Amino acid sequence: MERKDFGSWLEGPPQLSNQEWPGQRLGRPEAGPGSVARIGRRVVALCIDWAIAMILAALIFKSAQFADLAIFAVTQMLFVGVTGHSIGHRIMSLQVQGMDGKAITPLKGVVRTLLILLVIPVLISDADQRGYHDKIVNTVLVRI
């Protein structure tokens, strides 16, 4: 037996799928426009959207309980359902698209937002880095 038979921690965790990059089996490119958004961009976009909701809640509702959550939900439903991206998504050059690459419907935007508010569907993702909030409504968050 040789060392190569055992592998190394330097190789990283074992691959759970045979695709080379997230979104490959969906027909998405590895990088650039149309590629699946990676976690860093997603987190920054979420922080931007949440900060905006908190600022608006403080200014309009004097930080009333759940005002920031309500503002976050409404802005996500409206912006993602109509334009395909929230303010944070737009700043980070991201867009929610249907699996066919087209804009999503307002109803899908509402359902996707309600699933985001449940938190758990967001935390569970597949090999394409799509959370269950995206899988359930058949959408994908991509770079534009």
The answer to whether residue 50 scores a pLDDT higher than 80 is yes
Beta bridge partners of 139: 98
Which pLDDT belongs to residue 118? 94
pLDDT digits (tens, 9 = 90+) for 82-116: 999 999 999 999 999 999 999 899 999 999 999 99
Compute φ and ψ for 141, nearest 5 degrees: -95, 120
CA–CA dist 29, 50 (Å, integer): 29
Beta bridge partners of 140: 97
Report the chain's mean pLDDT, rounded to a whole number: 89
pLDDT digits (tens, 9 = 90+) for 59-75: 999 988 899 999 999 99
